[in-house]
Amino acid sequence: MKVILNQDIPKLGKKWDVIIVKDGYAQNFLFPKKMAQVATTKLIKQAETVVADRVKDADEVVSNAKELATKLKGVTLNLKGKAKEDKLYGSITEKDIMEELEKQEKIKVTKEMVKMDEHLKTTGEHKVKLQLAENTSITIKVVIEAEV
């Protein structure tokens, strides 16, 4: 059965995608939960328009991310924090990286773009990954010095 999704469903598709599913799955799961609707000719045309706009927007996001990656290439962020020997009293978080990028480089990124396995808790040189778009990421150098 051909259906149009009313919302994003992991491993199935995004909102407005036209997909083919088994009749029972559509009637017993998707339709009762209002997750999809039957794909009529009118709705398919509307879905094609929405998906085309989504693809255009995604292309724009990727081109902006590549431009941002070019600006960030070779960037080194310098931060200071209170420390005893080489251990910081607090830690450097995604928010701190985001704020310092804006302050030092005049580049705005969101907190969600900053990918760290754990917060930085020692002085020295660290690598931090920025996920700018789905397939566009860059690693920047973060140098943390102890405040005097």
What are the structural domain ranges in the chain?
Answer: 2-64, 69-146
* 2-64 CATH: 3.40.5.10
Residue 84 sits at the vertex; the CA angle it makes with 83 and 88, to the nearest 5 degrees, is 35
pLDDT tops 90 at residue 8: yes
- Average pLDDT over the chain reads 90
Report how far residue 46's alpha carbon sits from residue 60's, in angstroms, rounded to the nearest whole number: 21
The values of phi and psi at residue 141, to 5°, are -95, 135
Report how far residue 27's alpha carbon sits from residue 11's, in angstroms, rounded to the nearest whole number: 19
**58-116 pLDDT per residue, tens:** 888 888 888 888 888 888 889 988 998 889 998 899 999 999 889 988 888 888 889 99
| % of the chain at pLDDT higher than 70 | 99
Q: Which CATH class is domain 69-146?
A: alpha beta
The pLDDT-based confidence of 55 (bands split at 50, 70, 90) is confident
- pLDDT recorded at residue 19: 95
